Structure 1
Amino acid sequence: MHEVRVIHAKLELGVDLDIRTVVFLRRNIFEYIISSIAREEDKLSADVTELTWDDRDTLLRVIDERFRVAGEPYGWSGDPWQTFFCPEVDGVPTRDWIFRNVLPRPRDLIKYLNTCIEVAVNRDHKRIEADDLKEALKSHSSFALKQVLAEYKAEEPWLQQALYSFMGTRSEWSFKALTDHLTALHLDRGLPQDVRDAIATLVAVRFMGVKLASGEVRHASTYEDGIVLREKVRVTPVESPLGFVIHPVFHAHLGICGDEDPTGALTEPVGVTDESAPPVEDGGSPVPVDRKASGSSWFEMIEKFFSTLLGRDK
C-alpha cells in the first residue's frame, strides 16, 4: 500500500511516471477472453506470459519453501521430503507419486498437502506415510473435480453431467468407445454438435489426457498444449488408435477402475535416510509418539507448517 500511495502522490504533483500494468488471470478466464471477447486475438496474446508448472521440481519447490519458512522458528533447515515424508509409495518415489496424481498447479498441491498433514496428525504419525498420502488423495479428488466444474461449467453447461457419467467406469478409453459413451448420454444440456468438440473440451480442462500411438500420455498442462491437443482431437478420425486417459486425481471421487488407480493396495514404505528424521522401529514403522515428550518436535513444526499454509499464523 505504501508504494501505491507514493505513486498516487507523484501523479497528483504532475510527475511523469512510466507505469506498466501486469494483470494476473486464471487460465480459464484468459481462455474465455481469447475465445469469446477478443477481437484481435493475436495482439492480446502477444504480451502474454503463462506461468507453467509442468516441471516437477519447479512445482514442488513451492512446498520446499513453505517448509523452510515454517521450520525457521525451530532452527530446522533440513530436506522436508526426507524428514516429513515416506520415501516411496507403491515403489514410486514420493515426489514423483505426488506429481503424477495431482494437477500441476500450486493451489492444488498446497490443498492436497494440507489434507495429507491433517490425516497424518490425526493418526499420530511422525511423518506423512504412504497410507496418509492415499487417504488424503481420496478427499482431494472431490476438490479437484469441483474446481474443474467451478472454472468451466458456465461456458460448458453440459460438463457436470458428462463428468459424472464416468463414475464407476475405466480410466482408459479408445477414441471410438469414448465417442459412443458421450453420444449415448441423455443430458439436460446437450453436448456440442460435434462430439469431438466435447472430447476436446474434456482434454482442455485436464480431465483427460491424450494417449498417443507411442504410448505417451499428453495433458493440457499449458494453454498452448490445450490448443494443440484440441486440434489433434478435432482432426483425428474416430477409428484411429488415439486413446484417452482420465487423470489419476479424479479416480477416487468417481470410483474409476484401472491399473493406474493411485488409491489401491498399500506398499509398506522403507525407512528414511535423513539423520534428522524421526526414529523408526524394526520393519520401518514409526515409533508411537508421545506428544508431551516430543515437545517442539515434529507435531509443533508440522502444525506450524499447516497454519502457515492456511495463513492462520498471520
Structure 2
Amino acid sequence: MSLSRARAARYGVDSVIGDTKGDGMADGPVLAQLHFGREDAERDVTDGLLLRGGFLPNAAYRGALSGRKMLIIGRKGSGKSAVCMQLMADGGRTHHGGKVLVTPDEAAGEEIRRFELQGLPGDSAKALIWRYVFAVHAARHLVTHAKDAHAKRPDSVKSLGRFLKQNGEAPGSGSRLVERLAQGARALQTSLSLEAFGVKASMDLAQSPSEGARAARQLEVVEQGVARAFTDLGCDGAVHPPLLLMVDQLEQVWSAEPDSNAMVIGLLLAAKHAASLYGRSVRFLLFLRADIYDSLSFGEGDKFHGDELRIAWTEQALRDLALTRARASVGEELTEEQLWKELFPQTVAGEETASYLFRRCLPRPRDAIQFLNACQEKAWLEHERDRITEADVEQAGRQFSEWKLKDLTSEYLVAHPFLRNLFPLFQNSGYVVTRAALTRRFEAAAETLHHDFPAYADTLTLSGVIDVLYGVGFLGVRRGNDVVFAGDDALPVQPHETEFHVHPCFRAALGAGSAFDLRRFEPQLVDPRVSSGNYSPGAAGSSSLNRDDRLLMQLTRSCHSILSQVERAVALTRDVRDEITLQFNRVLDDVSRIPPGAAASAGVDVDDYLLTTAHYFTGLSTQLLAGGLDETSGVGPVAHRIEEEARRLRRQAGGSYGSSGDSAGA
C-alpha cells in the first residue's frame, strides 16, 4: 500500500498526518511532518526526537550498559552525547541505579588545567583533582541514596554527610562545578577538613614530604570513607545497579596544549583508579572525541585499550537511523519502501537514493541528519512540494557539502589550524589525486603555508599533509580495488601508496565533480543543418561521401579500440575508468549525429573533424601520463593506445582517397 493510501486508510484523509494535536484536525502532508531531529544531542533531548523514539541503540550504548567499557570514543557528531543523554534521561528503564553527569565548562576546565601540586607531574596532579570530583559526587549520591533507598544511615554515611557539609559540598548546596573545583583545588593544595573521618590534618598529615604527597594522603582518607559507605549499604551492584558516573563534553575545555592533554590524561588515570577502588559500586563512562584521545601519549596508555569502545557507523546503520527517526516524526507505520521510494526519489544521478545520500556523508549521525533535513527543507519549505525530488537532493547536497567543508575546519581548528589553507590544493580538479600531482601542487604552496603557520613547519611537509588529510577523513587512499578512509582501516597511509581520493562529502564544495582532471570533450557539431536534418544526401557526390564515411568509421573503430584498452586496465581506479569512458562515449555520440553519406551537405568537414578529435586524443593522453597515476594501474597502456589512435587518425585525415585505415589495432 502506498504511503498516501495508508494515511487515507488510517485517518480518512489523503496523504496527511493524523490527529497529532488531539483536536481531530489533520496537520498536513506527510513531508511537512517529516523531520530527522536536531543534529546535537543536547537540543535533540529538549526539542527533537532523541527521547521520542528517535534513538537507535548501537554498540556504544550496549557497551555502556554492560559495564565492560569505560571509554566511549568517537569523532565529533558520531553520537557520543546521544548515548550519554539517553542514559541520563531513560527514567531508569535500562539503568536503575543512580546517575551523575559531569560536563565541565570553560571556567571549570581552566581550574583543572591550572591545578598543580609541588612534587607531582602535571597529569598526576590533575588526576587528584578528578579523583576529588568523583569522590564528592559519590559521597553526595550516597547521602541521598541511603535515605531514599535504604532508609538507614550507617556511621560511614553520616561521616560523609559531615565531611560534605564541612567542606561546602553538601547535596543541594547549589554551587556550580567550577566553584566546587576551585574550593577542592584550594583544599588539596592546603588541607581538607577531615575531622568527619577522625583525622586532624594539621597533626596527622604534617609529616607528608611534599604538597603532592599531602594532597594524595588527604584524598585517600576521603576515598576510603566513600568506599566504606558503599560497603556498609551493600551497594556492590548485586542489590541494585551501580552508580553511573559519566563525563562528557570535554572537548569544550580542551586545547592542543600540554596542560589540556594533562587534564585528559589525569581524567583517565583518575577513572581507572576510582573504578578499581569502588569496584562494582560505581561504573565510570568517559565520552571522548577521537582526535583528543588519539593525540595523548603517556606511559600507562596501553592499559586502557581494553576499556575502549570506538563508535563506528556503517551505511546500513545510518539507513536504520534514518528510518527510526522518520518514524518518530511521522508515525510508526512508515515503511522503508515508503521512505525511500515515495517521500524520497528512488534514485539520484542513477544511484539508489539512500546510497547516494550516505556515501556523501562522513559516517556519523550528525551529518546524516543534516543532509536528510536539508533535502526535506528544499522540497517542502522552499518549493512547497509533497515529495522530495532528485533536484532537491542534488541542491541540498551542494549546500551540505559547503557546510561540511567549513565544519571540518572548525572541528580541527585547535589541532590543525592550517587545514582550511590546504583545500585550494584540491579545488576545481578531479577528486582522484596522485602523490605526484599533489607534490607539484604542494610545492607551489609550501612557502606561503610555512610563512603563515611557522609553528607547524614540521607538519607542513608533503607526507605530513597527506597524513593529516587522511586522519581527518578528507582524503582516502586506494588499497587494491578499494578506497579506504580513516575509520575503515587503522593502518595509516604508507609511503608506497600513491593514489588518493577526496571524500564524496567535500567534492561538490570543491568543484571536484569528476574523478580525474581530464579535459572534457565538447561536441563539434554546431551546424544548424545537422541538428535540424536540413541536408541533401547527394550534395557532395558519392566519391567524397565514401571517403568521409570511411574516415568516420575509422574514428568509431579508434574509440572502441581505446574503450577496449580501458576495460582491460582492471587495476585502474573504477572512477578514472568511468571518467575516460565517459569522454570517449561523448565522442561516439557526436560522431553518430553525422548523417551517413551526407557529411559534406550537413556542413561537416570530416578531415578537420578528425584532426580536431585527434588533437583532443593527444591532449588526453598527455594528461593521463602527467597525472601521476601509478604505472601498475594500467594507465600507461591506455594513454599509449589513445596516442596511437590519434596518430592513426591524423594519417587517415591527411592520406589520399582509398586508404583503408583497416589496420587499427584492437
Instruction: Give the match for residue 202 of structure 1.
Output: 469
Deviations, residues 61-80 of structure 1 (Å, cap 9, x unaligned): 111111111123xx743332
Of 341, 350, 357, the match for 1:91: 350
Q: What is the CA deviation profile of residues 171-229 of structure 1, one whole-angstrom value per residue up to 9, with x for unaligned ones?
A: 111112112222321211155264212101101111011023x332111135xx2x40x
Partner of 2:424: 164
Q: SS at the partner of 1:22?
A: strand
Q: Is contact 1:119–1:136 with CA below 8 Å preserved after alignment?
A: yes
- Give the alignment of 1:157-306 within 5 angstroms: 157-185=417-445, 186-187=448-449, 188-189=452-453, 190-191=456-457, 192=459, 194-212=461-479, 214-222=480-488, 225=489, 227-228=490-491, 230=492, 232-233=493-494, 235-236=495-496, 242-259=498-515
Aligned to 1:48: 308
Once the two structures are superposed, residues 78-131 of structure 1 have per-residue CA deviations (whole angstroms, 9 ceiling, x without a partner) of 332233111111221111111211111100000111111110102122211111
C-alpha change, 1:116 and 1:194, in structure 2 (3 Å) is: same
Is 1:118 the counterpart of 2:377? The answer is yes
After superposition, the Cα gap between the structure-2 partners of 1:49 and 1:11, relative to the gap in structure 1 and judged at 3 Å, is farther
Per-residue CA deviation, residues 276-312 of structure 1 (Å, 9 max, x unaligned), is: xxxxxxxxxxxxxxxxxxxxxxxxxxxxxxxxxxxxx
1:59-98 matches, cutoff 5 A: 59-72=318-331, 76-79=333-336, 80-98=339-357
Q: CA RMSD in A?
A: 2.5
State the match for 1:145 in structure 2: 405
Q: Deviations over 1:142-191 (max 9, x none)?
A: 22112211222211222120123322222111112112222321211155
Higher relative contact order (CA 8 A, sep 6+): 1
* Structure 2 alignment gaps of length 5 or more: 1-87, 92-97, 101-139, 148-152, 154-228, 237-280, 518-666
1 CA distance for matches of 2:374 and 2:349?
A: 20
In 1, Cα distance between equivalents of 2:298 and 2:387: 49
| % identical equivalent positions | 28
CA contact (8 A) 2:507 2:513 kept: yes
User: Is the CA contact (8 Å cut-off) linking 1:28 and 1:151 kept in structure 2?
Assistant: no
Match of 2:217? none
Distance 1:60 1:260 in 2: 30
CA offsets 1:235-290 (integer angstroms, 9 cap, x no match) = 32xxx6x20011111112122241499xxxxxxxxxxxxxxxxxxxxxxxxxxxxx
Q: Rate the CA distance shift 1:46–1:179 in 2: closer, same or farther, 3 A.
A: farther
Q: TM-score, normalised to structure 2's length?
A: 0.34
TM-score in terms of structure 1 length: 0.70
What SS does the corresponding residue of 2:309 show, helix, strand or coil? coil
* 2:26 is the alignment partner of 1:26: no
CA drift at 1:11: 6.3
CA distance in structure 2 between the partners assigned to 1:161 and 1:216 by the alignment: 28
Which segment drifts farther, 247-256 or 111-120? 247-256
SS of 2:282's equivalent in the other structure is coil
Larger Rg: 2
Moved more, 162-171 or 119-128: 162-171
CA distance in 1, matches of 2:516, 2:460: 32
Tell me if the contact between 2:315 and 2:358 (Cα under 8 Å) persists in the aligned partners. yes
Shift of 1:7: 4.3
Q: Which runs of 5+ in 1 are unaligned?
A: 262-314
Distance 1:254 1:154 in 2: 23
The structure that is helix-richer by fraction is 2
The answer as to whether partners of 1:166 and 1:254 remain within 8 angstroms in 2 is yes
Counterpart among 155, 167, 183 of residue 415 in structure 2:
155
Rate the CA distance shift 1:257–1:64 in 2: closer, same or farther, 3 A: closer
| Kept after mapping to 2: 8 A contact 1:211/1:244 | yes
Query: Aligned AA for 1:51?
Result: I
The Cα of 1:22 is off from its aligned counterpart by: 1.2
Question: How far apart, in 1, do the equivalents of 2:484 and 2:141 lie?
Answer: 46
Shift of residue 45 of structure 1? 2.6
In structure 2, what is the Cα distance between the partners aligned to 1:193 and 1:87? 44
Specify which of 117, 129, 142 is matched with residue 389 of structure 2.
129
